[in-house]
């Protein structure tokens, strides 16, 4: 009995870890195993056809790429600038602490609420209609708190003495930020940006009522028009199509492409972080 | 550039950066006011009492009824289910990673968990339909297995990375001296973990659970795809449910602008917002308490 | 002695961090081309005083300064004083070596670049500064290497080179050797003595031997006040104040 207990104890923890790994394995295995047969050059390079039962997902891919780009254009400059304001310029007071707490909590706000906000502000309030731009702005807002938080963390890791060194040779505060602080914090900022964008690329709820469409006739690319996107395409193929069994292989193919896009972005972020941690040694 | 020009430029940039900071704060604050404003418009038309105690959510019926209870119960049911599944697994995995796994194993497990966190919710929802659904259907003899249990299983998978990461941080934050003291009186690794490390990390673990709950409550696509979305009052784990998030997702697309129904969706979104905010604030409180306690 | 030029001075200076009174009625003068050591127990305000001469407190919230700090005839805290210009005239070397996370060359070149030194002159100035700081021989073949790969002592000499490259009039040194081994410390002390002929140097130090080795003048501070100042020899061998005597003999601190 005495010899058995450690095995049971250790086994319990191993079981937990094993189950978690099993989940990841099942997700990857199922998507790859059943999605790979659908993948082909034609699948990612042609328009859907025959009422979505045939053809490829090209417009959904370009739609997701464009959407992510707009998200980046909206959130990256604003987010980094806001983080610089908070970490470099704002005087630490109860006000900045409240602002920080708000921004942290905003990153916990459900994405569907951003969708509602996008609908009320961009689609209806600013009369931008359901469009690529409305959806991009909505995802941009959703991404802002993450970009701000990760950028501020990266800035905070740069010691005050580095800033003082620049000031002491006669740099202005902005010059010290531009020439010394930002370059040093860049890998950390970049990691945060890429991870945030990978999250945005996979989001569905915020774009559902701000501009995404199941099918559009023209190729994506018009800022003021509706567009297709990979996550929404998967959702529609999986739940709303009238011939659900017929399109299942297409749904699997779409899911696999989506997860590949997200993982490639994630691996890029890991790579930046890994390379940076090596440089530090 | 001469010094005066450089110093002026510095002032201009400072002003510009300060104003972008303010723009962001206004924009993000706008979300809160937009929710409150529209929710307020709703309560001018429907009494808060009817909203809170109503057991029917039938906004498109002839006699429209806006009771949030069925949605609230659905969200709670799915969340509780997800936590029952995720908390023990999450703590167990975190304990394994921080106390038992070697460096090389850690270097595999941690990225794996980050990968799991990166899977988009729509993909998890899809797998709920094609894997978990049929599995449950086979097990309990239902046609498709789209019910609260399915949603709970999927959400537990989505909450796991958060719970594991934050718990592991908490366990690692327990000072080594505590563990050494425990070994010193003859306790083994397991006894130390159960009797010393986990209790010492309790506030951090609680924070992990709270942040996991926050993620679960607000998740939309998985529950939308996997729980069946029946409008009736929920009947337990094996029945179909329709959460707050799913209701917003389904109905917002079709609702006419600025009708009572439109405002009603903002009202339930406000409830959702307050729930996640409360959970996150409690979580943050425990994270801070844990830090203070151990840095003292 | 008396006809020596007064380079820096403080007149009735008081400084508060929030409600904490850190510098109390400081009256002090620093002579040109001399090394002055600021000594005193931790927390006596010597670093705070040093940093107020090139306005390093500007970015901190809640700092209040009263009284006058002068660089020759210029009021350091006057509204029209350009802080950028001031810092070019009053250079600083910090307690912990803080090279920029850039190459060795770029560490020195950066100050020249932002201060509009013509491009064709920079290479020469970089070399001269490195030579003056006795680090040229060690790094001349690897100027493009990241400065963070240098040893602690080399990094500190690089920081000094970075400062002298700009030809300031005053160099403030805030315990420049506190993180270094004895050999590196010795090298830096030699360097300080050599630099004296071109610069006015103020050095904060905890090390009594160091003060005696490098400083012409010594100032003893205690709890935010200047207790005694004078020639280094007098301060260490003939202190007028009992507190000074106890401190330099190592009875507290």
C-alpha distances out from residue A106 to A175, A226, B31, Å: 31, 27, 9
Residue C138 covered by a domain: no
Pairing of strands C63-71, C6-17: antiparallel
**pLDDT score, position A275:** 82
The minimum CA-CA distance between A76 and chain B, rounded to whole Å, is: 12
Q: Same domain for B77 and B139?
A: yes
Gap between the Cα atoms of A274 and A188, Å rounded: 11
Assigned token pair, B262: 């439109």
C-alpha distances out from residue C140 to B275, C121, C135, C185, Å: 63, 17, 8, 21
Sign of CA dihedral C135, C140, C143, C145: negative
Which residues of chain C does A183 touch, with a Cβ-Cβ cutoff of 8 Å? 101-102
The minimum CA-CA distance between B1 and chain C, rounded to whole Å, is: 7
Q: Do B211 and A119 touch (CB under 8 A)?
A: no
Residue C231 covered by a domain: yes
Residue B185 covered by a domain: yes
Q: What is the mean pLDDT of chain B?
A: 88
C-alpha distances out from residue B30 to A30, A136, B23, B26, B27, Å: 42, 17, 10, 6, 5
Please identify which residue in the block is written with the tokens 């080594």: B176
Kindly list the partner chains of chain C, i.e. chains with 3 or more CB atom pairs below 8 Å.
A, B
Which residues of chain B does C83 touch, with a Cβ-Cβ cutoff of 8 Å? 7
Q: Same domain for B201 and B252?
A: yes
Contact B143, B137 (CB under 8 A): yes
Query: How many folded domains does chain B comprise?
Result: 2
Which residues of chain A does C92 touch, with a Cβ-Cβ cutoff of 8 Å? 164, 168
Gap between the Cα atoms of C218 and C235, Å rounded: 7
Gap between the Cα atoms of A134 and A127, Å rounded: 9
Which residues of chain A does B218 touch, with a Cβ-Cβ cutoff of 8 Å? 108-113
Predicted confidence (pLDDT) at residue A211 exceeds the cutoff of 60: yes
Residue A1 covered by a domain: no
Predicted confidence (pLDDT) at residue C1 exceeds the cutoff of 70: no
Contact C171, C191 (CB under 8 A): no
Q: Do A170 and C85 touch (CB under 8 A)?
A: yes
Summarize pLDDT for C185-232 with one digit per residue, the tens.
888 899 899 888 889 999 999 889 999 999 999 999 999 999 999 999
Gap between the Cα atoms of B200 and B190, Å rounded: 15
Assigned token pair, A254: 């779409």
Summarize pLDDT for A241-273 with one digit per residue, the tens.
777 777 888 899 999 999 999 999 999 998 888
Predicted confidence (pLDDT) at residue B232 exceeds the cutoff of 90: no
Interface probe, candidates C88, C98, C99, C168, chain A, greatest A C-beta count within 10 A: C98
Summarize pLDDT for B110-145 with one digit per residue, the tens.
989 999 999 999 999 999 999 998 898 888 887 788
Question: What share of chain C has pLDDT > 90, as a percent?
Answer: 60
Task: List phi, psi (to 5°) of A238.
Answer: -80, -30
Residue B120 covered by a domain: yes
Interface of C with B in 35-74 (CB under 8 A): none
Interface probe, candidates C87, C90, C160, chain A, greatest A C-beta count within 10 A: C87
Which residues of chain C does A166 touch, with a Cβ-Cβ cutoff of 8 Å? 100, 110
Which residues of chain C does A176 touch, with a Cβ-Cβ cutoff of 8 Å? none
For C76, the domain range is: 6-96+168-248
Query: How many folded domains does chain A comprise?
Result: 1
Chain A interface includes B84 (CB < 8 A): no
Which residues of chain B does A239 touch, with a Cβ-Cβ cutoff of 8 Å? 129, 225
Lowest mean pLDDT among A3-7, C21-25, C131-135, C177-181: A3-7
Pairing of strands C74-75, C20-31: unpaired
Please identify which residue in the block is written with the tokens 């206004």: B26
Q: Do B120 and A19 touch (CB under 8 A)?
A: no
Which residues of chain B does A78 touch, with a Cβ-Cβ cutoff of 8 Å? 20, 23-24
Residue C57 covered by a domain: yes
Summarize pLDDT for A7-44 with one digit per residue, the tens.
888 888 999 999 999 999 999 999 999 989 988 888 88
Q: Do C56 and A92 touch (CB under 8 A)?
A: no
Summarize pLDDT for C69-113 with one digit per residue, the tens.
999 888 999 888 889 889 999 999 999 889 999 999 999 999 999
Residue B51 covered by a domain: no
**pLDDT score, position C2:** 44
**Buried residues in B1-22 as b, exposed as e (16+ CB within 10 A):** eebeebbeebeebbeebbebbe
Which of A141, C226, C37, C2 lies closest to B34 in space, CA to CA?
A141
Mean pLDDT in residue range A202-224: 82
**C113: nearest CA partner in chain B:** B1
Q: B110: exposed, middle or buried (C-beta count within 10 Å: 0-12, 13-18, 19+)?
A: middle
**pLDDT score, position B81:** 94
Residue C23 covered by a domain: yes
Pairing of strands C225-231, C217-222: antiparallel
Q: B236: exposed, middle or buried (C-beta count within 10 Å: 0-12, 13-18, 19+)?
A: exposed
Pairing of strands B57-58, B65-66: antiparallel
Give CA C45 to chain center in angstroms.
Answer: 14
**pLDDT score, position A221:** 64
CB atoms within 10 A of CB B202: 15
For B33, the domain range is: 3-45
Gap between the Cα atoms of A228 and A219, Å rounded: 9
> Which residue among A165, A172, A179 sits closest to C84, beta carbon to beta carbon?
A172
Tally the residues of chain A: 281
Chain B interface includes A120 (CB < 8 A): yes
Which of C19, C101, C185, C142 lies closest to A162 in space, CA to CA?
C101
**pLDDT score, position B294:** 64
Q: Is C181 helix (H, G, I), strand (E, B) or coil?
A: coil
Assigned token pair, B67: 């009771």
User: Residue B254 sits in a domain of what CATH number?
Assistant: 1.10.3720.10
Chain B interface includes C116 (CB < 8 A): yes
Number of A:B CB contacts under 8 A? 239
Contacts of C201 (CB under 8 A, 6+ apart): C34, C35, C36, C170, C171, C173, C192, C195
Q: Same domain for B35 and B65?
A: no
Mean pLDDT in residue range B217-225: 93
Residue C153 covered by a domain: no
| Eight-class DSSP state of C59 | T
Question: What share of chain B has pLDDT > 70, as a percent?
Answer: 98
Chain B interface includes C80 (CB < 8 A): no
Please identify which residue in the block is written with the tokens 């020899």: C233
Residue A26 covered by a domain: no
Q: C117: exposed, middle or buried (C-beta count within 10 Å: 0-12, 13-18, 19+)?
A: middle
For A47, the domain range is: 38-280
CB atoms within 10 A of CB B138: 10
Please identify which residue in the block is written with the tokens 């003021």: A224
Contacts of C131 (CB under 8 A, 6+ apart): none
**B10: nearest CA partner in chain C:** C84
Predicted confidence (pLDDT) at residue B257 exceeds the cutoff of 50: yes
Residue B296: which pLDDT band, with cuts at 50, 70 and 90?
very low
The minimum CA-CA distance between A225 and chain B, rounded to whole Å, is: 17
Pairing of strands C63-71, C74-75: antiparallel
Give CA C126 to chain center in angstroms.
Answer: 21
**pLDDT score, position B25:** 82
User: Residue A140 sits in a domain of what CATH number?
Assistant: 1.10.3720.10
Contacts of B2 (CB under 8 A, 6+ apart): C116
Q: Same domain for B21 and B62?
A: no
Mean pLDDT in residue range B68-82: 92
Residue C216 covered by a domain: yes
Tally the residues of chain C: 253
Summarize pLDDT for A78-124 with one digit per residue, the tens.
999 999 999 998 887 788 888 888 888 888 899 999 999 999 889 98
C-alpha distances out from residue C114 to C85, C107, C118, Å: 12, 12, 10
Mean pLDDT in residue range B39-62: 83
Q: Same domain for B140 and B66?
A: yes
Residue C209 covered by a domain: yes
Summarize pLDDT for A154-195 with one digit per residue, the tens.
999 999 999 999 999 999 999 999 999 999 999 999 999 999
Number of H helices, E strands in chain C: 10, 10
Task: List phi, psi (to 5°) of C32.
Answer: -65, 145
Q: Same domain for B14 and B80?
A: no
> Which residue among B109, B248, B276 sits closest to A17, beta carbon to beta carbon?
B109
Chain C interface includes B1 (CB < 8 A): yes
Which residues of chain C does A84 touch, with a Cβ-Cβ cutoff of 8 Å? none
Q: Do B1 and C82 touch (CB under 8 A)?
A: no
Report the side by side order of strands in the sheet with C217-222: C90-93, C170-174, C200-204, C35-39, C217-222, C225-231
Q: Same domain for B200 and B255?
A: yes
**C87: nearest CA partner in chain B:** B3
Gap between the Cα atoms of C63 and A91, Å rounded: 12
Residue B101 covered by a domain: yes
Q: Is B117 helix (H, G, I), strand (E, B) or coil?
A: helix
Q: Same domain for B12 and B61?
A: no
Q: Do C91 and A168 touch (CB under 8 A)?
A: yes
SS (H, E, C) chain A: CCCHHHHHHHHHHHHHHHHHHHHHHHHHHHHHHHHHHHCCHHHHHCCEECCCCEECCHHHHHHHHHHHHHHHHHHHHHHHHHHHHHHHHCCCCHHHHHHHHHHHHHCCCCHHHHHHHHHHHHHHHCCCCCCHHHHHHHHHHHHHHHHHHHHHHHHHCCCHHHHHHHHHCCCCHHHHHHHHHHHHHHHHHHHHHHHHHHHHHHCCHHHHCCCECCCCCCCCCCCCCCECCHHHHHHHHHHCCCCHHHHHHHHHHHHHHHHHHHHHHHHHHHHHHHHHHHHHC
Which residues of chain B does C85 touch, with a Cβ-Cβ cutoff of 8 Å? 3
Task: List phi, psi (to 5°) of C67.
Answer: 95, -175
The minimum CA-CA distance between A46 and chain B, rounded to whole Å, is: 22
Q: Same domain for B179 and B108?
A: yes
Residue B293: which pLDDT band, with cuts at 50, 70 and 90?
low
Contacts of C2 (CB under 8 A, 6+ apart): none
pTM for the model: 0.89
C-alpha distances out from residue A55 to A3, A46, A238, Å: 61, 6, 16
Q: Do A169 and C59 touch (CB under 8 A)?
A: no
Alpha helices in B96-147 (DSSP H): 103-118, 121-127, 133-140
Q: Same domain for B259 and B195?
A: yes
Predicted confidence (pLDDT) at residue B167 exceeds the cutoff of 50: yes
Assigned token pair, B234: 């929920």
Give CA A277 to chain center in angstroms.
Answer: 23
Interface of B with C in 36-75 (CB under 8 A): none
Which residues of chain B does A26 touch, with a Cβ-Cβ cutoff of 8 Å? 127, 131
User: Residue C180 sits in a domain of what CATH number?
Assistant: 3.40.50.300
Query: How many folded domains does chain C comprise?
Result: 1
| Eight-class DSSP state of C238 | S
Residue B165 covered by a domain: yes
Angle value at C-alpha B85, between B112 and B136, nearest 5 degrees: 100
Please identify which residue in the block is written with the tokens 């609260």: B148
Residue C61 covered by a domain: yes
Predicted confidence (pLDDT) at residue B61 exceeds the cutoff of 80: no
């Amino acid at each position: 009995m005495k010899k058995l207990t450690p095995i049971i104890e250790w086994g319990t923890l191993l079981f937990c870890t094993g189950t978690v790994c099993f989940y990841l394995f099942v997700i990857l295995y199922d998507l790859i195993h059943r999605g790979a047969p659908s993948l082909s050059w034609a699948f990612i390079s042609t328009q859907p056809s025959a009422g979505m039962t045939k053809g490829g997902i090209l417009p959904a891919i370009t739609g997701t790429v464009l959407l992510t780009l707009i998200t980046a254009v909206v959130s990256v400059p604003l987010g980094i600038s806001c983080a610089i304001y908070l970490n470099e310029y704002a005087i630490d007071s109860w006000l900045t602490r409240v602002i920080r707490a708000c921004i942290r909590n905003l990153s916990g706000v459900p994405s569907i609420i951003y969708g509602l906000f996008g609908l009320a502000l961009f689609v209806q309030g600013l009369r931008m209609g359901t469009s690529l731009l409305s959806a991009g702005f909505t995802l941009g807002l959703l991404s802002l708190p993450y970009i701000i938080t990760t950028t501020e963390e990266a800035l905070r890791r740069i010691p005050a003495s580095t800033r003082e060194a620049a000031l002491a040779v006669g740099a202005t505060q902005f010059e010290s930020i531009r020439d010394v602080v930002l370059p040093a914090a860049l890998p950390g900022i970049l990691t945060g940006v890429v991870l945030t964008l990978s999250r945005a690329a996979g989001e569905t709820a915020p774009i559902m009522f701000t501009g995404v469409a199941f099918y559009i006739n023209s190729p994506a690319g018009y800022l003021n028009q509706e567009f297709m996107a990979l996550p929404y395409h998967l959702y529609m193929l999986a739940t709303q199509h009238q011939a659900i069994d017929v399109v299942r292989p297409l749904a699997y193919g779409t899911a696999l492409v989506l997860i590949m896009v997200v993982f490639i972005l994630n691996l890029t972020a890991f790579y930046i972080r890994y390379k940076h941690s090596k440089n530090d040694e | 550039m001469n010094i005066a020009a450089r110093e002026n430029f510095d002032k201009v940039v400072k002003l510009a950066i300060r104003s972008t900071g303010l723009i962001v704060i206004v924009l993000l604050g706008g979300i809160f006011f937009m929710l409150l404003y529209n929710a307020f418009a709703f309560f001018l038309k429907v009494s808060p009492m009817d909203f809170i105690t109503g057991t029917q959510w039938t906004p498109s019926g002839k006699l429209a009824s806006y009771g949030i209870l069925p949605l609230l119960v659905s969200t709670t049911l799915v969340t509780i289910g997800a936590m029952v599944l995720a908390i023990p697994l999450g703590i167990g995995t975190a304990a394994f990673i921080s106390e038992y796994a070697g460096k090389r194993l850690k270097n595999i497990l941690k990225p794996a968990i980050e990968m799991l966190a990166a899977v988009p919710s729509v993909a998890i929802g899809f797998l709920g339909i094609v894997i978990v659904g049929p599995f449950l259907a086979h097990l309990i003899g239902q046609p498709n297995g789209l019910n609260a249990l399915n949603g709970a299983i999927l959400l537990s998978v989505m909450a796991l990375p958060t719970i594991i990461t934050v718990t592991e941080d908490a366990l690692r934050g327990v000072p080594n001296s505590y563990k050494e003291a425990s070994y010193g009186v003859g306790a083994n690794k397991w006894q130390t973990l159960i009797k010393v490390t986990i209790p010492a990390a309790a506030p951090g673990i609680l924070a992990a659970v709270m942040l996991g709950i926050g993620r679960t409550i607000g998740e939309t696509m998985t529950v939308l795809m996997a729980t069946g979305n029946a409008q009736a009052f929920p009947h337990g784990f094996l029945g179909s449910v329709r959460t707050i998030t799913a209701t917003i997702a389904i109905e917002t697309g079709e609702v006419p602008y600025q009708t009572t129904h439109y405002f009603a969706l903002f009202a339930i979104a406000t409830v959702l917002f307050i729930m996640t905010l409360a959970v996150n604030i409690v979580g943050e409180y425990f994270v801070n308490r844990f830090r203070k306690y151990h840095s003292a | 002695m008396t006809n020596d030029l007064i380079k820096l001075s403080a007149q009735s200076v008081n400084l508060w961090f929030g409600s904490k009174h850190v510098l109390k009625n400081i009256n002090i003068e620093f002579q040109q081309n001399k090394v002055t050591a600021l000594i005193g127990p931790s927390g006596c305000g010597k670093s705070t005083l040093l940093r107020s001469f090139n306005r390093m407190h500007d970015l901190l919230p809640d700092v209040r300064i009263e009284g006058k700090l002068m660089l020759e005839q210029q009021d350091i805290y006057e509204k029209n004083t350009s802080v950028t210009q001031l810092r070019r005239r009053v250079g600083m070397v910090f307690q912990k070596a803080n090279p920029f996370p850039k190459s060795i060359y770029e560490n020195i070149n950066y100050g020249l670049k932002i201060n509009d030194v013509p491009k064709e002159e920079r290479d020469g100035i970089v070399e001269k500064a490195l030579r003056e700081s006795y680090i040229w021989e060690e790094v001349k073949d690897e100027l493009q290497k990241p400065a963070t790969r240098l040893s602690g002592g080399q990094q500190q000499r690089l920081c000094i080179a970075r400062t002298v490259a700009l030809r300031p009039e005053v160099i403030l040194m805030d315990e420049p050797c506190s993180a270094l081994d004895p050999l590196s410390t010795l090298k830096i002390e030699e360097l300080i003595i050599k630099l004296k002929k071109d610069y006015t140097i103020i050095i904060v130090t905890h090390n009594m031997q160091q003060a005696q080795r490098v400083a012409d003048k010594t100032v003893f501070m205690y709890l935010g006040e200047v207790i005694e100042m004078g020639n280094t020899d007098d301060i260490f061998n003939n202190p007028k104040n009992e507190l000074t005597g106890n401190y330099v003999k190592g009875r507290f601190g």
